[in-house]
Structure 1
Amino acid sequence: MTDLIGGAGHVLDPAAIRAFVLARLAAEDLDGRRVCVIVPDATRSCPLPLLLSAVHEALHGRAAAVTVLIALGTHAPMSAAQLAKHLGGPYPGFEIRNHEWWLPETLVSLGRISADRVAELSEGRMKQPIDVTLNRAVVEHDVCLVVGPVFPHEVVGFSGGNKYFFPGIAGQEIIDFSHWLGALISSAEIIGTRGITPVRALIDEAAGMIPSRRLALCLVVKSGSGDLHAMSFGEPEAAWAACADVSARTHVEYLDAPVRRVLSIIPAKYDDMWTGAKGFYKVEPIVADGGQVIIYAPHITRISAMHPEIEQIGYHCRDYFVKQWDRFQDQHWGVLAHSTHLRGAGTWDPVGGERPRVTVTLATGIPEPVVRAANLDYLDPATIDLEALAADSFVVSQAGEVLFRLR
């Protein structure tokens, strides 16, 4: 059973949010259970202090143990100070952990998905077995409760639900695998696609192997704020689907014609280009052939905190890697996927080289030699007259969560 409150255009009252969480958790068989609460890191807009305080009220003294696990994927870990700001609290009796994806001892294998099944799920794009590796908290707890938002997403279509397991608290192999599958489809094609995409199908298949009971409190957040438009509760697949329908009506804006230049202003919650690249993913569909996206983020000073190899590989279109697979197949596929997502659509052949569809220009604090070595254009943010540039651009402030598409 899935319950949904709110909807597109609504803003839920905090008291109603708390009452919904308390009522839904009160109705579940959680007495004496060990509960793992899986939540996003700070790269997603989400009113976690409000939600976790309600979860704490519902579970403290009732559950045998509660662990709050931060779904980092392969993002950088959050410090104690960052966690306190992000989660609120304190929450007596709750243990709070980062997903330490870089430590093999924190992971457990749940089994394998066969090559034939992978081929079926991926619609023939990939055919090899995949080890389903996840944070061992999933086998150390009786119940896994996902609490997190749903947004248009460049790898899976719409984020949320079982995506908080894969890639949220998964091992790098299956993270890389799922992201490269999305890259083969391409960000521009899959982003904002409703329903079960091939990547979502793979994620759901892997999540079905989790031995603990899975529940989800899915959210539709007003972008850049702590307000909620809607929330749903139930099994992750159904709760996610209910909120994805609302997100599709809330987080997607349509233009009648393509634009020549986008000025994408990146908020401070994205502190490197690995995360700030969402400011490109969400606008690529509206840029005319030969157009430009300027990523304006003076606060960003590095390409990636956790994946320095992207500086050596650089940013390239999908065909650059696919048509030279012998050169790149031993690299982390998640890094290759990120590369294609930020470079966007294009072609490559051994004679003519690479022909990107649009120009990507970084106006960030990353040094010019690093930017150009990574195969992107550079603009010194200190030299930009934002007002003049905005007058001749399609401006997206607080970029990264709302998707722009053509009708």
Structure 2
Amino acid sequence: MVTGKGYTDRTLLETEVHTVLADSLAAQPLDGQRVLVIIPDGTRSGPIDLLFRELHELLTPRVAALDVLIALGTHQPMPEDAIARRLGVSVEEMRGRYANVNFFNHHWELSETFRTVGVIPAAEIEQLSNGLLSMDVPVTVNKLVFDYDLLLVCGPVFPHEVVGFSGGNKYFFPGISGPEVINFTHWLGALITSYEIIGAGYTPVRAVIDRAAGMIDVPKLCVSPVVKGDELAGLYVGTPEEAWEAASALSAKVHVIYSDKPYRQVLSVMPSMYDDIWTA
């Protein structure tokens, strides 16, 4: 069951954010468990710092371990100072107040860091892709996840040009996956075209991602914020599928603007948070 709240005409107060997280986590059997929090890198905007502080405060007294894995996909690893900025803390605080937390970068290029959890067969791929592709897709994921009792995804939901809307199980694939699913889903998205897929709700790419995530035999929970500026328009907690569904419905209202006319030219300004031109 998903819990949370969201609005199109205002943003959440910090007290509301705390209440949503506190109530959701209180219902989870987390005492003595090892929890891995999976967060986005610096290419995703939103108050991850607030959410990290809340999760640390709420979970540290209960769990045996609370660590962080950065879902880089194929992006560059983040050095310690960049991780600190992402979480809104200083390097000194990481080494002091948060010394009980291990911070890991995902390395998509290192085959020794992965475990194969299954294969999506060609016949199923053909069905999921609406006949666009037919091939076996090996499913590999960062083997670090198998050292934990709960995988806690914490990342925003926006319209996305490859999958429709970001968030949810996308933090596993491509976030912490091997190159096979990364390459396949981006090619499938390209065949559909970004024009058709961005903001389109549940897409064939999302279906493949959800199928792959179902092969990870570790309990999962997802915190799905909907970001508006530097604040939250909404926050939902549940399974990755449930939380994403609620957050993407709100994102469609908050982030998608419909125009009565087409534009001949559009000027796009790349934010300074991007290190690579291709990512921007």
- Same fold (TM > 0.5): yes
Distance 2:18 2:108 in 1: 32
Instruction: Give matches, 1:309-348, under 5 Å.
Output: none
Q: Which residue of 2 aligns with 1:34?
A: 34
Q: Deviations over 1:189-227 (max 9, x none)?
A: 111102x210000000001111110110001001xx320
Runs of 5+ in structure 1 lacking a partner?
277-407
Taking the TM superposition and a 5 Å limit, the aligned residue runs for 1:4-403 are 4-89=4-89, 90=94, 91-194=98-201, 196-222=202-228, 225-276=229-280
Give CA deviations for 1:152-210 in whole Å, capped at 9, x if unaligned. 0011111110011000111111100111011010111111102x210000000001111
TM-score by length of structure 2 reads: 0.95
Displacement of 1:4:
2.1
Of all paired residues, the percent bearing the same amino acid is 51
Measured against aligned partners, the alpha-carbon deviations of 1:127-172 in whole angstroms (never above 9, x if no partner) come to: 1111110111221111111101000001111111001100011111
Name the SS of the counterpart of 1:262 in structure 2. Answer: coil
Q: Distance in 1 between matches of 2:151 and 2:236?
A: 16
So what's the TM-score if we normalise by structure 1? 0.66
Whole-Å separation in 2 of the counterparts to 1:119 and 1:32: 43
Q: Take 2:7 and 2:239, find their aligned partners in 1: how far apart are those partners? A: 19
**Matching residue's letter, 1:87:** L
RMSD of aligned alpha carbons: 1.1
Shift of 1:23: 2.2
Corresponding residue SS for 1:124: coil
Deviations 1:56-109 (A, max 9, x none): 111113212122011111011111111101113432311111111111121111
Which of the two has greater strand per residue?
1
Letter in 2 for 1:202: V
Aligned counterparts of 1:153 and 1:102: Cα–Cα separation in 2: 24
Highest CA radius of gyration, 1 or 2?
1
Instruction: Give the residue type in structure 2 aligned to 1:36.
Output: L
Q: 2:6, 2:250 within 8 Å by CA — same for their partners in 1?
A: no
CA distance in 2, matches of 1:188, 1:242: 23
CA distance in 2, matches of 1:271, 1:27: 39
* 1:329-350 deviations in Å (ceiling 9; x for gaps): xxxxxxxxxxxxxxxxxxxxxx
* Residue identity in the other structure for 1:210: I
2-structure distance, mates of 1:50, 1:209:
31
Which stretch has the larger CA shift, 198-207 or 95-104?
95-104
- Off by >6 Å, runs of 4+ in structure 1: none
Structure with more contact order per residue of length (Cα contacts < 8 Å, sep ≥ 6): 2
